[in-house]
Amino acid sequence: MEWFVLFALTGQVLMVGFFAARRWRPELADLLGKAVYGLGVVAAVLAVALWVTGEPGHLVLALIVYAAWSVLGAWVDVVHPIAWRQPPRWSVLVPYAALLITAMLLLWVPLWWVNWWLWLLYGILYTVHTMLNLTSHRGRRTAAHDGTS
């Protein structure tokens, strides 16, 4: 269970870092995005390890869903990049969003039974990453637009 908790919180920290980088440090966004998707390999290995050691199936499922989301995301964003966000390509956007949201919730819920402080911390990180994600899709501010040099 400790590895599951570590994975869940690490995933959220990387998500926050990625979306923050997209907004304030774009030169780091590509690296962090690949790290977020690369965490899918860790999820797959951890899912097998938890399954073999008899951990509850819902923990394994959470990791498998994260791994599936990361495979899809890595494929459409890194390996074979396609424009699917703008304009929306629904055949990619719907499964991408469904897998992401499902994975995030499946990673979050079990933390309640571990320690409600961890559950709260995950919830805060999830909220921050979601807000940064949503606001990162708006027009980006540049020095020419915000008066800074």
pTM summary value? 0.87
* Mean confidence (pLDDT) of the chain: 89
Where are the chain's structural domains? 2-136
Q: What string of DSSP letters covers the chain? A: -HHHHHHHHHHHHHHHHHHHHHHH-HHHHHHHHHHHHHHHHHHHHHHHHHHHTT--HHHHHHHHHHHHHHHHHHIIIIIS----TTTT-HHHHHHHHHHHHHHHHHHHTTHHHH-HHHHHHHHHHHHHHHHHHHHHTSPPP-HHHHS--
Confidence of residue 11 (pLDDT cuts 50, 70, 90): very high
Confidence of residue 64 (pLDDT cuts 50, 70, 90): very high
Q: Average of pLDDT values for 80-102?
A: 91
Q: What is the pLDDT of residue 139?
A: 53
Confidence of residue 149 (pLDDT cuts 50, 70, 90): very low
